[in-house]
């Protein structure tokens, strides 16, 4: 039952009893009026009877006056006779008025009047006669006339009496009827109202009970969903902090309590920056409050790299974090949720892996360098032996020149090796052409051994900013992969071209390396950039491409690997884009973000 | 200082090969040189050779394959594998008579070569080439 229904019921509860009572009142009014009318008819009959009696008395009085005159012949007795006649006429008129509604009584009255007029005529002739007492006949005649008057009067009076009787019965009957009507009407209306009220009340009470049940069920559901949410937030491994739109903390899970060092009870209601103190790991500068940042950008944000959280006890954790706005139905921001986790160990592990790969690369390079150096050193040692035994100056000169040549080669190799490990603190200008050539020089022996043909499709030098040793590591890795893939007698294409600035990236250079090997299986393509994924069995560490990806990303570049569509170099196709200007710093993280 | 032995030197490093030739000639050997496996096998077939001084890492045909081919032709000729390689495959080491890393010095090279040739001419070996 909604509010509208309830109002309707309320209206009914007032209106229907009111209408019922009005109807009852009308019924009673009608009954009472009926009874009253009957009563008034009764009164009317009484009035008529009284008037008849009065008329009769006056007519008798007049007859008495006449009889008195007859007996005494005293004219003085007739003094009031004429005035009495006039009074009687007026009584007649009154009575005529009374019975004008009843033709029967009117007829009766006319008969009485006629009889009276007859008598009055006799009386006047009697009065006019000079000696009335002598004529006995006259006296008898007068009595007869008077009898007729009395008879007519009596019949009229009787008629009125009968009428009264009928009217009395009717009045009594109506009175009974009125009582019955009142009782029955009251009972009926009372019962109907009772039943109606009961029905409506039951309806309302049922609706009330239903809404009570609903309310209880909803509060139970609310409680359960709240518990469920809390349990979920407590159970997940990441730390979660929820804030109001103003930035005050509303909720923290256990992980968040542990990392910040603040129990939720204390932290609740505090501004986020009091509890969640973040700084840049390297610069130690205060990082932007994520609440402000979310409000500013009004979208999901990830925290900058190298964000460190300072806990209440001063412990520092490197964290990975994201913050998102909580919106209501209308899209208005009503809060912010922060999710973060301690990646200190992960960061250490990644750093260890990078160092490990660097060592592995160094080991492989050292072996190849040892080989390269041993050859000329062996020659020099042989020349030294020859020089010691040679007296011919021309021959000696020739030997010395040879020794000089071999030493120069040794120097070149050792310089290359030094360059590999001498890393500047800030990005320097690197000539990509020279870098590629030096990598190819290091790999020259392997290329020769396997008779791999390298086609160089780059002529101009191209300068990018970067860390040469790291970039050399990337290209050594990629070209070595191409050598492994191409196999004996295979071919490798290395080309480089400049890339103009686009919307999302600055101008730079792209180096492409294609090989004639078998290509990469589709399912392996997805994983090649993940750490420890290798297709080379025990020969590979599975870190090469992962580290290369990290280095290229650190330089702001892009590394892509796919299968080639070039019919001549149908194997893998690697693309490395490097921007001419890099944002990398010596401290930048060089581990790959593998999606 | 002369001796009657002919040595076949195989190495892709041409300069090193020339120097080694001069060194061995100083010690009295007759020296044949080849810069790759194929020409080495041709020389080996055509000439009487008392010992082979073989490099391992060479383009096209590495020392191991050259040694296998030589063993098939003239199994009695001693082969000294002379390489700067630090991780020679064991099956190659098994085929050749001896190995000598580069950079051990010329005296060591000459004495090892001499030892190998003398051993191959000692009683028990029926060839006399």
Each residue of A189-215: pLDDT tens digit?
Answer: 899 889 988 988 898 888 889 989 999
What residues of chain A lie within 8 A of the CB of B80, using their CB?
Answer: none
Residue A345: exposure state from Cβ atoms within 10 A (0-12, 13-18, ≥19)? exposed
Query: What digits encode the pLDDT tens for the residues B78-107?
Result: 999 998 877 788 888 899 999 998 878 889
Q: Is residue B128 part of a domain?
A: no
Chain A contact for B15 (CB, 8 A cutoff) = yes
Q: What percent of chain B has pLDDT over 70?
A: 92
The pLDDT, as a whole number, for residue B127 is: 45
Inter-chain touch A378–B22, beta carbons under 8 Å: no
pLDDT 10s digits, A542-574: 677 888 888 888 888 888 888 888 888 888 999
Coil, strand, or helix at residue B56? coil
Q: Return phi, psi of residue A489, to 5°.
A: 80, 5
Q: What is the dihedral of CA A480, A482, A484, A485, to 10 degrees?
A: 160
Find the CB nearest B23 among A386, A405, A445: A386
**Whether complex ipTM tops 0.90:** no
Do B19 and A386 count as a contact with CB atoms less than 8 A apart? yes
Residue A504 has what pLDDT?
A: 66
Strands A316-327 and B51-54: unpaired
Name the percent of chain A lying above pLDDT 90.
13
B contacts of A399 (beta carbons < 8 Å) = 19, 22
B15 and A386: CB-CB below 8 Å?
no
3-class DSSP string for B89-127:
CHHHHHHCCEEEECCCCHHHHHHHHHHHHHHHHCCCCCC
**pLDDT tens-place string over residues A108-145:** 889 889 988 888 888 888 888 777 666 667 777 778 88
The yes-or-no verdict on residue B126 having pLDDT over 60 is no
What are the structure tokens assigned to A45, written together? 């009959």
pLDDT score of B125 more than 70: no
pLDDT > 80? residue A533: no
Q: A568: which strand partners?
A: none
With a CB cutoff of 8 Å and minimum separation 6, the contacts of A142 are: A63, A66, A67, A70, A119, A122, A123, A126
Which residue of chain A has the CA closest to B58?
A449
Q: Which of B22, B86, B106 sits opposite A381 (nearest CB)?
A: B106
Residues of B with CB below 8 A from A448's CB? 12, 59
Structure confidence at residue A304 (pLDDT): 60
Confidence of residue B129 (pLDDT cuts 50, 70, 90): very low
Chain A: residue whose CA lies nearest to B37:
A449
B7 CB contacts (<8 Å, ≥6 apart)? B24, B29, B30, B31, B32, B49, B50, B51, B52, B53, B113
User: Which backbone phi and psi does A524 adopt, to 5 degrees?
Assistant: -75, -30
Q: How many domains does chain B have?
A: 1
pLDDT at residue A93 is higher than 80: yes
* CB contacts, 8 Å: B107 with chain A: 385
Residue A47 scores a pLDDT above 80: yes
Is B76 part of a structural domain of the chain?
yes
Chain A, 436 to 475: residues with Cβ < 8 Å from chain B are 445, 448-451
pLDDT confidence of residue A214:
92
What's the pTM value of the predicted model, to 2 decimals?
A: 0.46
pLDDT for the residue A221? 93
Among A15-24, A72-81, A273-282, A410-419, whose mean pLDDT is lowest?
A410-419
Distances (CA, A) of A519 to A40, A484, A485, A525, B112: 127, 11, 8, 10, 47
| The pair of three-digit structure tokens given for residue A142, joined into one six-digit string | 């007068």
Residue of A nearest to B103 (CA): A378
The whole-number average pLDDT for the span A511-515 is 93
Residue B35 lies in a domain: yes
Q: Is residue B92 part of a domain?
A: yes
pLDDT greater than 80 at residue A177 = yes
Q: Does B111 touch chain A (CB under 8 A)?
A: no
Question: So what's the pLDDT on residue A203?
Answer: 87
What number is the average pLDDT over the span B13-17?
A: 88
Query: What is the DSSP annotation of A27-48?
Result: HHHHHHHHHHHHHHHHHHHHHH
For the ranges A177-186, A351-360, B83-92, the lowest mean pLDDT is seen at A351-360
Question: Which whole number is the average pLDDT over B48-67?
Answer: 88
| Torsion angle in degrees (nearest 10) through CA of A383, A384, A386, A391 | 120
Average pLDDT over residues A209-226: 92
Q: Cβ of B20 under 8 Å from any chain A Cβ?
A: yes
- Cα gap A277→A271, rounded to integer Å: 11
Residue A279's contacts (CB-CB under 8 Å, 6 or more residues apart) are A285, A286, A287, A307, A308, A310
> Mean pLDDT, to the nearest integer, of A351-370?
74
* Chain A closest-CA separation from residue B109 CA (Å): 10
Residue B75 lies in a domain: yes
**Alpha carbon distances (Å) from A377 to A407, A414, B65:** 7, 12, 26
Question: Could you give all domains of chain A from N- to C-terminal order, each with its CATH number?
Answer: 3-208 (1.20.120), 239-342 (3.30.450.20), 350-579 (3.30.565.10)
Tell me whether residues A374 and B19 touch, CB distance under 8 A: no
Q: Do A381 and B85 touch (CB under 8 A)?
A: no
Please report the pLDDT score of residue B6 as a whole number: 93
Interface test with B, best of A366, A370, A375 (most B CBs within 10 A): A375
Return the pLDDT at A133. Answer: 61
Q: Which residue among B12, B23, B85 sits closest to A371, beta carbon to beta carbon?
A: B85
The whole-angstrom distance between B126's CA and the closest CA on chain A is: 34
| Interface contact A400, partner B, CB < 8 A | no
Chain B residue numbers with beta carbons less than 8 Å from the beta carbon of A385 are 23, 26, 105-107
In a domain, B125, yes or no: no
**In the block, which residue shows the tokens 């060092």?**
A261
Q: Which region holds residue A306: left if phi is over 0, alpha if psi is between -120 and 50, else beta?
A: left
Question: What domain range includes position B59?
Answer: 6-120
Report pLDDT for A418. 67
Task: Using CB atoms within 10 Å of the CB of residue A435, give its burial: 0 to 12 exposed, 13 to 18 middle, 19+ buried.
Answer: buried
> Does residue B54 carry a pLDDT above 70?
yes
Residue A360 and residue A539: Cα distance in Å, rounded? 11
- Is B126 among the domain residues? no
Tell me the mean pLDDT in the region A583-590. Answer: 60
Give A383 to chain B, closest Cα distance, Å.
7
User: Does some domain include residue B1?
Assistant: no
- Does B16 contact A385 at a Cβ distance shorter than 8 Å? no
> What pLDDT is attached to residue A305?
67
DSSP letter for A483, please: H
Tell me which residue in A383, A389, A450 faces B19 most closely, judged by beta carbons: A383
For residue A331, is it left (φ>0), alpha (ψ between -120 and 50) or beta? left
Q: Is the pLDDT of residue B52 over 90?
A: yes
Q: In this predicted model, what pLDDT tens digit does every residue of A273-321 receive, in sequence order?
A: 889 888 887 778 888 888 888 888 888 887 666 788 889 888 888 888 8
- pLDDT tens, A394-437? 989 989 998 998 898 888 777 766 665 666 677 888 888 888 88
- Identify the band that residue A514 occupies on the pLDDT scale cut at 50, 70 and 90: very high
Q: Give CA angle at A227 (A226, A230), nearest 5°.
A: 85
Say if residue A371's pLDDT is above 90.
no
Query: Across the interface, do B58 and A449 touch by the CB < 8 Å criterion?
Result: yes
CB contact under 8 A, A451 and B12: no
E strand or H helix that includes residue A275? helix A272-275
Task: Let me know how many helices (H) and strands (E) chain A has, helices first.
Answer: 14, 14
How far apart, in whole angstroms, are the C-alpha atoms of residue A150 and residue A148?
5
Q: Tokens 């090279």: give the residue.
A: B109
Chain A: nearest CA to B101, how far in angstroms? 9
Q: What pLDDT is stored for residue A328 in this prediction?
A: 87
Predicted confidence (pLDDT) at residue A384 exceeds the cutoff of 60 = yes
CA–CA separation, B20 and B104 (whole Å): 13
CB contact under 8 A, A449 and B13: no
The two tokens of residue A483 are: 């050598």
A368 touches chain B (CB under 8 A): no
Q: What is the pLDDT of residue A543?
A: 72
Read off the pLDDT band of A78 (50, 70, 90).
Answer: confident
Which is nearest to A420 in space by CA: A451, A442, A395? A442
Tell me the two tokens of residue A443: 């790999």
Nearest CA in chain A to B63: A449
Chain B residue numbers with beta carbons less than 8 Å from the beta carbon of A384 are 106
The C-alpha atoms of residue A306 and residue A303 are separated, in whole angstroms, by 9
Residue B87 belongs to a domain with what CATH number? 3.40.50.2300
**Within the 26-85 window of chain B, which residues sit less than 8 Å (CB to CB) from chain A?**
26, 57-60, 62, 84-85
Of the candidate ranges A12-21, A157-166, A189-198, A583-592, the one whose mean pLDDT is the lowest = A583-592
For residues A376-397, average pLDDT: 89
Q: Cβ A379–B13 below 8 Å, yes or no?
A: yes
Of all residues in chain A, what percent carry a pLDDT higher than 70? Answer: 92
pLDDT tens digits, residue range A485-497? 888 889 999 999 8
| Cross-chain Cβ contact A445/B57 below 8 Å | yes
pLDDT at A362 over 80: no
Tens of pLDDT, residue by residue over A322-335, are 888 888 888 888 88
Mean residue pLDDT across chain A: 84
Query: From the centroid of its chain, how far is CA A98?
Result: 86
């Amino acid at each position: 039952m909604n509010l509208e229904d309830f109002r309707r019921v309320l209206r009914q509860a007032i209106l229907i009893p009111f209408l019922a009572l009005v109807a009852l009142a009308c019924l009673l009014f009608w009954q009472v009026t009926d009874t009253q009318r009957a009563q008034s008819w009764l009164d009317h009959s009484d009035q008529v009877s009284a008037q008849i009696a009065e008329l009769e008395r006056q007519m008798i009085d007049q007859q008495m006056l006449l009889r008195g005159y007859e007996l005494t012949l005293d004219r003085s007795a007739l003094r009031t006779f004429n005035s009495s006649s006039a009074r009687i006429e007026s009584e007649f008129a009154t009575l005529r008025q009374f019975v004008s509604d009843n033709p029967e009584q009117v007829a009766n009255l006319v008969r009485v009047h006629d009889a009276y007029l007859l008598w009055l005529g006799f009386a006047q002739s009697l009065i006019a006669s000079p000696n009335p007492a002598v004529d006995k006949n006259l006296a008898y005649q007068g009595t007869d006339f008077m009898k007729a008057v009395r008879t007519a009067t009596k019949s009229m009076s009787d008629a009125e009496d009968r009428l009264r009787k009928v009217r009395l019965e009717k009045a009594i009957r109506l009175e009974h009827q009125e009582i019955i009507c009142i009782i029955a009407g009251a009972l009926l209306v009372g019962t109907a109202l009772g039943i109606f009220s009961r029905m409506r009340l039951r309806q309302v009470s049922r609706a009330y009970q239903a809404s009570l049940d609903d309310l209880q069920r909803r509060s139970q559901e609310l409680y359960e969903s709240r518990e469920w949410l809390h349990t979920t937030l407590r159970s997940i491994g990441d730390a979660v902090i929820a804030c109001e739109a103003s930035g005050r903390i509303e909720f923290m899970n256990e992980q968040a309590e542990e990392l910040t060092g603040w129990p939720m009870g204390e932290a609740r209601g505090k501004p986020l920056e009091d509890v969640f103190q973040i700084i840049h790991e390297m610069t130690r500068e205060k990082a932007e409050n994520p609440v402000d940042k979310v409000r500013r950008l009004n979208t999901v944000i990830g925290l900058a790299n190298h964000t460190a959280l300072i806990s209440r006890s001063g412990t520092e954790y490197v964290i990975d974090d994201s913050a998102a706005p909580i919106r209501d139905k209308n899209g208005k921001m009503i809060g912010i949720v922060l999710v973060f986790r301690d990646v200190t160990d992960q960061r250490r592990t990644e750093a260890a892996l990078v160092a490990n790969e660097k060592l592995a690369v160094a080991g492989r390079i050292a072996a190849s360098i040892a080989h390269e150096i041993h050859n000329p050193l062996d020659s020099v040692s042989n020349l030294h032996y020859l020089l010691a035994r040679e007296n011919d100056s021309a021959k000696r000169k020739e030997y010395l020149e040879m020794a000089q040549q071999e030493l120069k080669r040794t120097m070149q190799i050792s310089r290359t090796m030094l360059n590999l490990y001498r890393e500047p603190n800030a990005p320097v200008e690197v000539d990509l052409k020279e870098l590629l050539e030096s990598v190819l020089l290091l790999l020259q022996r392997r290329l020769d051994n396997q008779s791999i043909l390298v086609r160089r499709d780059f002529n101009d030098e191209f300068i990018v900013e970067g860390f040469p040793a790291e970039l050399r590591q990337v290209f050594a890795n990629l070209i070595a992969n191409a050598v492994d893939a191409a196999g004996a007698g295979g071919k490798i294409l290395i080309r480089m071209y400049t890339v103009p600035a686009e919307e999302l990236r600055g101008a730079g250079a792209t180096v492409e390396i294609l090989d004639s090997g078998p290509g990469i299986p589709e399912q392996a393509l997805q994983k090649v950039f993940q750490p420890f994924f290798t297709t080379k069995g025990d020969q590979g560490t599975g870190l090469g491409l992962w580290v290369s990806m990290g280095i290229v990303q650190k330089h702001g570049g892009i590394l892509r690997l796919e299968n080639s569509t070039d019919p001549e170099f149908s194997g893998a196709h690697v693309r490395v884009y490097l921007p001419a200007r890099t944002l990398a710093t010596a401290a930048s993280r060089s581990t790959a973000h593998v999606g | 200082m002369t001796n009657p032995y002919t040595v076949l030197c195989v190495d892709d490093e041409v300069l090193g090969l020339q120097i080694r030739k001069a060194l061995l000639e100083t010690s009295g050997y007759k020296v044949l040189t080849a810069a790759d496996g194929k020409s080495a096998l041709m020389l080996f077939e055509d000439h009487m050779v008392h010992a082979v001084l073989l490099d391992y890492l060479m383009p096209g045909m590495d020392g191991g394959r050259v040694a296998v081919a030589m063993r098939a032709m003239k199994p009695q000729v001693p082969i000294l594998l002379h390489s700067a390689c630090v991780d020679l495959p064991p099956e190659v080491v098994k085929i050749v008579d001896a190995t000598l890393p580069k950079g051990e010095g010329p005296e060591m090279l000459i004495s090892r070569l001499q030892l190998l040739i003398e051993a191959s001419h000692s009683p028990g070996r029926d060839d006399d080439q």
